[in-house]
Amino acid sequence: MPTAKFDLLPSANPTADAIRNDILSNPGFGRYFSDHMVHVRWTVDAGWHGHEVRPYGPLTLDPASAVLHYGQEIFEGIKAYRHADGSVWTFRPEKNAERFRRSARRLALPELDDETFVESLRALLAQDHDWVPTPSGEADECSLYLRPFMVASEAFLGVRPSHEVDYYVIASPAAAYFKGGVAPVSIWLSSNYKRAAPGGTGYAKCGGNYAASLAAQKEAEAQGCGQVAFLDAAENKWIEELGGMNLFFVYHDGRLVTPKLTGTILEGVTRDSVLELARDEGLQPEERHISIDEWREGAASGDITEVFACGTAAVITPVGELVGEDERIRCTEGDNPVARQLRSKLLDLQYGRSEDKHGWLTRLV
Protein backbone atom coordinates (compact mmCIF):
# COMPACT_ATOMS: atom_id res chain seq x y z
CA MET A 1 0.00 0.00 0.00
CA PRO A 2 1.50 3.44 -0.93
CA THR A 3 2.23 5.67 2.07
CA ALA A 4 -0.51 8.26 2.59
CA LYS A 5 0.29 11.93 1.93
CA PHE A 6 -0.90 14.48 4.46
CA ASP A 7 -2.09 17.88 3.20
CA LEU A 8 -1.02 20.80 5.34
CA LEU A 9 -3.31 23.57 6.55
CA PRO A 10 -0.93 25.65 8.69
CA SER A 11 -2.07 27.46 11.83
CA ALA A 12 -2.60 31.18 11.26
CA ASN A 13 -1.79 31.86 14.94
CA PRO A 14 1.04 29.58 16.05
CA THR A 15 2.18 29.95 19.66
CA ALA A 16 4.87 32.62 20.09
CA ASP A 17 8.37 31.23 20.79
CA ALA A 18 8.53 32.89 24.23
CA ILE A 19 5.20 31.39 25.32
CA ARG A 20 6.08 27.93 24.00
CA ASN A 21 9.46 28.00 25.73
CA ASP A 22 7.75 28.98 28.96
CA ILE A 23 5.36 26.02 28.61
CA LEU A 24 8.23 23.64 27.79
CA SER A 25 10.10 24.71 30.92
CA ASN A 26 7.30 23.29 33.11
CA PRO A 27 4.77 21.37 31.01
CA GLY A 28 3.30 19.05 33.68
CA PHE A 29 1.32 16.28 31.99
CA GLY A 30 -1.46 16.70 29.42
CA ARG A 31 -2.15 20.37 30.08
CA TYR A 32 -0.84 22.08 26.92
CA PHE A 33 -1.16 21.18 23.26
CA SER A 34 0.93 21.93 20.20
CA ASP A 35 -0.25 24.10 17.29
CA HIS A 36 -1.44 21.38 14.92
CA MET A 37 -3.24 18.05 14.85
CA VAL A 38 -3.66 15.22 12.36
CA HIS A 39 -7.06 14.30 10.98
CA VAL A 40 -8.06 11.42 8.69
CA ARG A 41 -11.68 10.56 7.90
CA TRP A 42 -13.20 7.13 7.28
CA THR A 43 -16.57 6.25 5.79
CA VAL A 44 -17.98 2.86 4.86
CA ASP A 45 -18.13 3.90 1.20
CA ALA A 46 -14.83 5.80 0.78
CA GLY A 47 -12.57 4.12 3.37
CA TRP A 48 -9.75 6.29 4.79
CA HIS A 49 -9.42 9.66 3.05
CA GLY A 50 -8.74 13.38 3.56
CA HIS A 51 -5.37 12.95 5.33
CA GLU A 52 -4.42 16.35 6.73
CA VAL A 53 -2.42 18.24 9.32
CA ARG A 54 -4.52 21.19 10.43
CA PRO A 55 -4.53 23.76 13.24
CA TYR A 56 -5.21 22.33 16.72
CA GLY A 57 -8.71 23.26 17.82
CA PRO A 58 -12.16 22.12 18.96
CA LEU A 59 -13.96 19.42 16.99
CA THR A 60 -17.43 19.87 15.57
CA LEU A 61 -19.41 16.75 16.44
CA ASP A 62 -23.11 16.19 15.85
CA PRO A 63 -24.78 15.73 19.28
CA ALA A 64 -26.01 12.35 18.02
CA SER A 65 -22.45 11.13 17.22
CA ALA A 66 -22.15 7.50 18.26
CA VAL A 67 -19.04 8.10 20.38
CA LEU A 68 -20.97 10.45 22.67
CA HIS A 69 -23.58 7.79 23.44
CA TYR A 70 -21.98 4.38 23.12
CA GLY A 71 -18.30 5.14 23.71
CA GLN A 72 -17.05 3.65 20.42
CA GLU A 73 -13.53 5.06 20.79
CA ILE A 74 -9.89 3.93 21.05
CA PHE A 75 -6.60 5.70 21.65
CA GLU A 76 -2.85 5.29 21.94
CA GLY A 77 -0.05 6.92 23.92
CA ILE A 78 3.45 7.26 22.46
CA LYS A 79 6.23 9.78 22.99
CA ALA A 80 8.66 11.79 20.83
CA TYR A 81 12.12 12.25 22.36
CA ARG A 82 14.72 14.89 21.49
CA HIS A 83 18.27 13.53 21.18
CA ALA A 84 21.42 15.50 21.94
CA ASP A 85 21.97 16.34 18.23
CA GLY A 86 18.49 17.90 18.00
CA SER A 87 16.91 15.01 16.06
CA VAL A 88 13.52 13.66 17.23
CA TRP A 89 12.76 9.96 17.64
CA THR A 90 9.94 7.74 18.77
CA PHE A 91 9.97 4.36 20.47
CA ARG A 92 8.57 1.12 18.98
CA PRO A 93 5.73 2.84 17.07
CA GLU A 94 4.98 -0.41 15.25
CA LYS A 95 3.87 -1.90 18.59
CA ASN A 96 1.42 0.97 19.16
CA ALA A 97 0.20 0.72 15.56
CA GLU A 98 -0.45 -2.99 15.98
CA ARG A 99 -2.23 -2.49 19.32
CA PHE A 100 -4.32 0.29 17.76
CA ARG A 101 -5.50 -2.20 15.09
CA ARG A 102 -6.24 -4.79 17.78
CA SER A 103 -8.23 -2.23 19.79
CA ALA A 104 -10.07 -1.18 16.62
CA ARG A 105 -11.14 -4.77 15.94
CA ARG A 106 -12.48 -5.14 19.49
CA LEU A 107 -14.44 -1.88 19.30
CA ALA A 108 -15.73 -2.65 15.76
CA LEU A 109 -13.85 0.35 14.37
CA PRO A 110 -11.99 0.35 11.03
CA GLU A 111 -8.30 -0.60 11.16
CA LEU A 112 -5.74 2.03 10.23
CA ASP A 113 -2.70 0.49 8.53
CA ASP A 114 0.61 0.66 10.44
CA GLU A 115 2.38 2.78 7.78
CA THR A 116 -0.31 5.48 7.95
CA PHE A 117 -0.20 5.39 11.76
CA VAL A 118 3.57 6.02 11.81
CA GLU A 119 3.37 8.53 8.95
CA SER A 120 0.70 10.48 10.84
CA LEU A 121 3.15 10.98 13.74
CA ARG A 122 5.84 12.08 11.30
CA ALA A 123 3.46 14.51 9.55
CA LEU A 124 2.52 16.16 12.87
CA LEU A 125 6.13 16.37 14.04
CA ALA A 126 7.19 17.92 10.71
CA GLN A 127 5.12 20.94 11.78
CA ASP A 128 5.38 20.87 15.57
CA HIS A 129 8.95 19.63 16.23
CA ASP A 130 9.67 22.81 18.21
CA TRP A 131 7.24 21.45 20.82
CA VAL A 132 9.57 18.56 21.69
CA PRO A 133 11.37 19.59 24.91
CA THR A 134 15.13 19.19 25.34
CA PRO A 135 16.00 17.15 28.45
CA SER A 136 18.09 19.03 30.99
CA GLY A 137 19.95 15.92 32.19
CA GLU A 138 19.78 12.15 32.39
CA ALA A 139 17.04 12.13 35.04
CA ASP A 140 14.82 14.46 32.97
CA GLU A 141 12.03 12.51 31.24
CA CYS A 142 10.50 15.40 29.27
CA SER A 143 9.05 14.52 25.88
CA LEU A 144 6.24 15.33 23.49
CA TYR A 145 3.41 12.93 24.36
CA LEU A 146 1.48 11.93 21.23
CA ARG A 147 -2.14 10.87 21.52
CA PRO A 148 -3.57 9.16 18.42
CA PHE A 149 -7.31 8.42 18.80
CA MET A 150 -10.29 7.30 16.77
CA VAL A 151 -13.93 8.18 17.37
CA ALA A 152 -17.27 7.02 15.93
CA SER A 153 -18.74 10.19 14.46
CA GLU A 154 -21.85 9.05 12.63
CA ALA A 155 -25.02 10.83 13.84
CA PHE A 156 -27.23 7.83 14.50
CA LEU A 157 -28.78 6.57 17.72
CA GLY A 158 -29.16 2.91 16.74
CA VAL A 159 -26.68 0.60 18.44
CA ARG A 160 -24.40 -0.69 15.68
CA PRO A 161 -20.84 0.05 14.49
CA SER A 162 -20.59 3.59 13.16
CA HIS A 163 -20.40 4.11 9.39
CA GLU A 164 -18.34 7.26 9.89
CA VAL A 165 -15.15 7.50 11.91
CA ASP A 166 -12.47 10.13 12.47
CA TYR A 167 -8.83 9.58 13.41
CA TYR A 168 -6.81 12.33 15.07
CA VAL A 169 -3.38 12.80 16.59
CA ILE A 170 -2.74 15.56 19.11
CA ALA A 171 0.53 16.35 20.89
CA SER A 172 1.19 17.54 24.42
CA PRO A 173 4.59 18.40 25.95
CA ALA A 174 5.08 16.28 29.06
CA ALA A 175 7.23 16.03 32.17
CA ALA A 176 6.87 13.20 34.73
CA TYR A 177 3.32 11.77 34.98
CA PHE A 178 3.36 11.72 38.78
CA LYS A 179 3.93 14.99 40.62
CA GLY A 180 6.71 13.45 42.73
CA GLY A 181 8.65 12.38 39.60
CA VAL A 182 10.36 9.07 40.34
CA ALA A 183 9.47 9.12 44.07
CA PRO A 184 7.52 5.97 45.08
CA VAL A 185 3.72 6.21 44.67
CA SER A 186 1.11 4.70 46.96
CA ILE A 187 -1.44 2.42 45.35
CA TRP A 188 -5.02 1.83 46.46
CA LEU A 189 -6.28 -1.76 46.24
CA SER A 190 -9.82 -1.55 44.89
CA SER A 191 -12.24 -3.94 46.53
CA ASN A 192 -15.45 -2.33 45.23
CA TYR A 193 -14.66 -2.12 41.53
CA LYS A 194 -13.30 -4.20 38.67
CA ARG A 195 -11.69 -2.78 35.55
CA ALA A 196 -12.21 -5.64 33.10
CA ALA A 197 -13.83 -9.07 32.81
CA PRO A 198 -13.10 -12.10 30.59
CA GLY A 199 -14.46 -11.51 27.09
CA GLY A 200 -14.67 -7.75 27.72
CA THR A 201 -12.47 -4.95 26.46
CA GLY A 202 -9.61 -5.12 29.01
CA TYR A 203 -6.89 -5.69 26.41
CA ALA A 204 -8.11 -2.85 24.17
CA LYS A 205 -6.97 0.72 24.73
CA CYS A 206 -10.45 2.21 24.74
CA GLY A 207 -11.86 5.11 26.73
CA GLY A 208 -14.42 2.84 28.40
CA ASN A 209 -11.74 0.94 30.34
CA TYR A 210 -10.40 4.19 31.73
CA ALA A 211 -13.91 5.50 32.48
CA ALA A 212 -14.53 2.27 34.42
CA SER A 213 -11.44 2.95 36.54
CA LEU A 214 -12.37 6.48 37.58
CA ALA A 215 -14.65 5.75 40.57
CA ALA A 216 -11.86 3.57 41.97
CA GLN A 217 -9.30 6.28 41.17
CA LYS A 218 -11.48 8.71 43.15
CA GLU A 219 -11.36 6.32 46.13
CA ALA A 220 -7.59 6.09 45.69
CA GLU A 221 -7.22 9.86 45.82
CA ALA A 222 -9.41 10.06 48.93
CA GLN A 223 -6.93 7.63 50.54
CA GLY A 224 -3.94 9.73 49.48
CA CYS A 225 -2.93 7.26 46.75
CA GLY A 226 -1.77 8.11 43.23
CA GLN A 227 -3.13 5.05 41.41
CA VAL A 228 -5.48 2.12 41.88
CA ALA A 229 -4.72 -1.61 41.55
CA PHE A 230 -7.37 -3.98 40.20
CA LEU A 231 -7.86 -7.69 40.88
CA ASP A 232 -9.44 -10.04 38.34
CA ALA A 233 -13.24 -10.04 38.04
CA ALA A 234 -13.76 -13.83 38.04
CA GLU A 235 -11.97 -14.84 41.28
CA ASN A 236 -11.12 -11.53 42.94
CA LYS A 237 -7.68 -12.99 43.56
CA TRP A 238 -5.23 -12.31 40.73
CA ILE A 239 -3.43 -9.02 40.29
CA GLU A 240 -4.17 -7.44 36.93
CA GLU A 241 -2.95 -3.87 36.52
CA LEU A 242 -3.32 -0.29 37.66
CA GLY A 243 -5.80 2.23 36.25
CA GLY A 244 -3.35 3.17 33.49
CA MET A 245 -0.15 1.17 34.01
CA ASN A 246 1.21 -2.38 34.23
CA LEU A 247 2.82 -3.79 37.39
CA PHE A 248 6.11 -5.63 38.05
CA PHE A 249 7.35 -7.46 41.18
CA VAL A 250 11.07 -7.85 41.92
CA TYR A 251 12.06 -10.93 43.96
CA HIS A 252 15.18 -11.16 46.12
CA ASP A 253 16.66 -13.88 43.86
CA GLY A 254 16.46 -11.86 40.62
CA ARG A 255 13.05 -13.01 39.39
CA LEU A 256 10.96 -10.23 37.86
CA VAL A 257 7.28 -11.15 37.72
CA THR A 258 4.48 -9.41 35.84
CA PRO A 259 0.86 -10.58 35.50
CA LYS A 260 0.34 -12.77 32.45
CA LEU A 261 -1.74 -11.37 29.57
CA THR A 262 -5.09 -13.10 29.67
CA GLY A 263 -7.24 -10.71 27.65
CA THR A 264 -8.17 -8.52 30.61
CA ILE A 265 -4.82 -6.71 30.82
CA LEU A 266 -3.44 -4.05 28.48
CA GLU A 267 -0.39 -5.27 26.57
CA GLY A 268 1.85 -2.33 27.45
CA VAL A 269 4.72 -1.39 25.13
CA THR A 270 6.78 -0.40 28.18
CA ARG A 271 5.81 -3.70 29.85
CA ASP A 272 7.14 -5.62 26.84
CA SER A 273 10.32 -3.50 26.71
CA VAL A 274 10.96 -4.04 30.45
CA LEU A 275 10.71 -7.81 29.93
CA GLU A 276 13.37 -7.58 27.19
CA LEU A 277 15.66 -5.18 29.08
CA ALA A 278 15.42 -7.34 32.21
CA ARG A 279 16.86 -10.28 30.28
CA ASP A 280 19.76 -8.05 29.13
CA GLU A 281 20.35 -7.14 32.80
CA GLY A 282 20.57 -10.77 33.93
CA LEU A 283 17.17 -10.81 35.66
CA GLN A 284 14.75 -13.68 35.14
CA PRO A 285 11.47 -12.27 33.83
CA GLU A 286 8.34 -14.34 34.37
CA GLU A 287 4.85 -13.68 32.98
CA ARG A 288 2.46 -15.60 35.20
CA HIS A 289 -0.51 -15.26 37.51
CA ILE A 290 0.36 -13.56 40.78
CA SER A 291 -2.20 -13.45 43.58
CA ILE A 292 -2.82 -10.70 46.08
CA ASP A 293 -1.84 -13.20 48.80
CA GLU A 294 1.55 -13.77 47.13
CA TRP A 295 2.03 -9.99 47.14
CA ARG A 296 1.09 -9.76 50.86
CA GLU A 297 3.26 -12.71 51.89
CA GLY A 298 6.19 -11.78 49.63
CA ALA A 299 6.28 -8.23 50.99
CA ALA A 300 6.06 -9.50 54.59
CA SER A 301 8.79 -12.14 54.20
CA GLY A 302 11.14 -9.96 52.14
CA ASP A 303 10.83 -12.30 49.15
CA ILE A 304 9.48 -9.36 47.12
CA THR A 305 11.97 -6.51 47.40
CA GLU A 306 10.45 -3.97 45.00
CA VAL A 307 7.23 -3.29 43.11
CA PHE A 308 7.01 -0.87 40.21
CA ALA A 309 4.48 0.46 37.74
CA CYS A 310 5.25 1.09 34.10
CA GLY A 311 3.65 2.69 31.07
CA THR A 312 4.39 5.20 28.34
CA ALA A 313 3.26 8.09 30.51
CA ALA A 314 4.63 6.76 33.82
CA VAL A 315 7.87 5.28 32.36
CA ILE A 316 8.94 3.20 35.43
CA THR A 317 7.69 4.42 38.80
CA PRO A 318 8.36 2.58 42.09
CA VAL A 319 5.37 1.62 44.23
CA GLY A 320 5.96 2.54 47.87
CA GLU A 321 2.92 1.06 49.53
CA LEU A 322 -0.26 -0.86 48.75
CA VAL A 323 -3.21 0.47 50.75
CA GLY A 324 -6.37 -1.63 51.22
CA GLU A 325 -9.55 -1.39 53.34
CA ASP A 326 -7.78 -2.78 56.44
CA GLU A 327 -4.15 -3.05 55.48
CA ARG A 328 -1.02 -1.24 54.41
CA ILE A 329 1.67 -3.28 52.67
CA ARG A 330 5.14 -1.79 52.34
CA CYS A 331 6.46 -2.64 48.90
CA THR A 332 10.00 -1.35 48.75
CA GLU A 333 13.28 -1.96 50.40
CA GLY A 334 15.91 0.74 50.15
CA ASP A 335 16.14 2.85 47.07
CA ASN A 336 14.41 0.58 44.51
CA PRO A 337 17.69 -0.32 42.78
CA VAL A 338 16.14 -2.61 40.15
CA ALA A 339 13.42 -0.13 39.15
CA ARG A 340 16.01 2.64 38.97
CA GLN A 341 18.41 0.56 36.88
CA LEU A 342 15.71 -0.50 34.40
CA ARG A 343 14.40 3.05 34.22
CA SER A 344 17.86 4.44 33.37
CA LYS A 345 18.38 1.73 30.73
CA LEU A 346 15.04 2.57 29.14
CA LEU A 347 15.53 6.35 29.22
CA ASP A 348 19.11 6.06 27.91
CA LEU A 349 17.79 4.12 24.95
CA GLN A 350 14.86 6.43 24.29
CA TYR A 351 17.04 9.56 24.40
CA GLY A 352 19.75 8.01 22.21
CA ARG A 353 22.36 7.86 24.98
CA SER A 354 22.97 4.13 24.51
CA GLU A 355 23.18 1.81 21.53
CA ASP A 356 19.77 0.83 20.12
CA LYS A 357 20.61 -2.90 20.07
CA HIS A 358 16.96 -3.93 19.71
CA GLY A 359 16.23 -1.55 16.81
CA TRP A 360 13.44 0.11 18.82
CA LEU A 361 13.90 3.72 17.70
CA THR A 362 12.28 5.37 14.67
CA ARG A 363 13.37 8.81 13.55
CA LEU A 364 10.55 11.33 13.14
CA VAL A 365 12.49 14.55 12.42
CB of 365 to ligand COI, least distance (A): 21
Does the footprint of ligand COI cover residue 207 (CB under 6 A)? Answer: no
246-251 and 255-259 strand pairing: antiparallel
**Alpha helices per DSSP H over the chain:** 17-25, 66-70, 93-106, 114-128, 207-222, 269-280, 292-301, 337-350
255-259 and 284-288 strand pairing: parallel
What are residue 216's phi and psi, to 5 degrees? Answer: -70, -35
Does the footprint of ligand COI cover residue 313 (CB under 6 A)? Answer: yes
Burial of 80 (C-beta count, 10 Å sphere; 0-12/13-18/19+):
buried
Nearer to ligand COI, 206 or 292 (CB): 206
Q: How far apart are CA 251 and CA 98, in angstroms?
A: 32
Does the footprint of ligand COI cover residue 226 (CB under 6 A)? Answer: no
Does the footprint of ligand COI cover residue 312 (CB under 6 A)? Answer: yes
> Smallest Cα–Cα separation from 150: which of 88, 96, 198, 196?
96
Question: Which residues lie closer than 8 Å to 22 by C-beta, 6 or more apart?
Answer: none
Q: For 165, what's the count of Cα atoms within 13 Å in the CB-facing half-sphere?
A: 25
User: Of the ranges 111-119, 128-136, 182-190, 308-316, which one interacts with ligand COI (CB under 6 A)?
Assistant: 308-316
Does the footprint of ligand COI cover residue 244 (CB under 6 A)? Answer: yes
Q: Which helix (H) or strand (E) holds 246?
A: strand 246-251
Site track 64-103 with ligand COI (rule: CB under 6 A), x = hit: -------------x--------------------------
Site track 149-178 with ligand COI (rule: CB under 6 A), x = hit: ------------------------------
Does the footprint of ligand COI cover residue 148 (CB under 6 A)? Answer: no
Number of residues that bind ligand COI (CB under 6 A): 5
Does the footprint of ligand COI cover residue 311 (CB under 6 A)? Answer: yes
Closest residue to ligand COI, based on beta-carbon distance: 77
Nearer to ligand COI, 40 or 315 (CB): 315
Binding site for ligand COI (CB under 6 A): 77, 244, 311-313
